[in-house]
Amino acid sequence: MRSGDALRRDVLRMAANAAYNVEKRNQKPLTEDEFLAVLTREVKTRRESVDAYTKANREDLAAKEQAEIAILDEYLPAALSEAEIQALLDEAIAATGATNPRDMGKVMGWLSPRIRGRADGKVVSGLVASTLAQADLAAHDGSPH
């Protein structure tokens, strides 16, 4: 706060306030995972704002949101690479015995605690769906029933 960086100060205050509100709602202190979930939600909200501002040709506001995302990212665990996500996905499929797209819930349930705050859920669920669809096709050799 003493550095004079008003944007950084304001972003950190907003994040702390969001965490405080969740603590009050739950009536208990946040665990580290819950705090990371709050930060992740803050980043997700800002990403959605960037999309909206970009579509509205408000690059000035989009740039401010991007700067806020960069500040919050410093406090989140390092993002998983696509190869790391795929390795975890392969492990999840083996651990759950998933063979077709109907098993997506099992796979996501196994993956979620391991990727929380380190990968975008939409990206991961898309990867899970396509991987399970390919596994299902391979199991049936692509032939109709």
Q: What is the CATH classification number for the domain harbouring 26? A: 1.10.1510.10
Taking 80 as the threshold, does the pLDDT of residue 139 lie above it? no
Kindly report, residue by residue over 11-44, the tens digit of the pLDDT. Answer: 999 999 999 999 999 999 999 888 988 998 999 8
Which pLDDT value is given to residue 63? Answer: 95
Which two tokens mark 101? Answer: 């797209």
User: Is 140's pLDDT higher than 80?
Assistant: no
Q: Which of 51, 73, 95 is where one domain is finished?
A: 73
Give a yes or no: residue 52 inside a domain: yes
Which of residues 21, 44, 73 is at a domain's end?
A: 73
Predicted TM-score (pTM) of this structure: 0.69
Domain match, 12 and 59 both: yes
Q: DSSP readout, 86-139?
A: HHHHHHHHHHHT--SGGGHHHHHHHHHHHHTTTS-HHHHHHHHHHHHHHHHHHH
The count of domains in the chain is: 2
pLDDT of 86-104, one tens digit each?
A: 999 999 989 998 888 888 8
What CATH number corresponds to the domain at position 123?
1.10.10.410
Q: What mean pLDDT is predicted for residues 118-138? A: 84
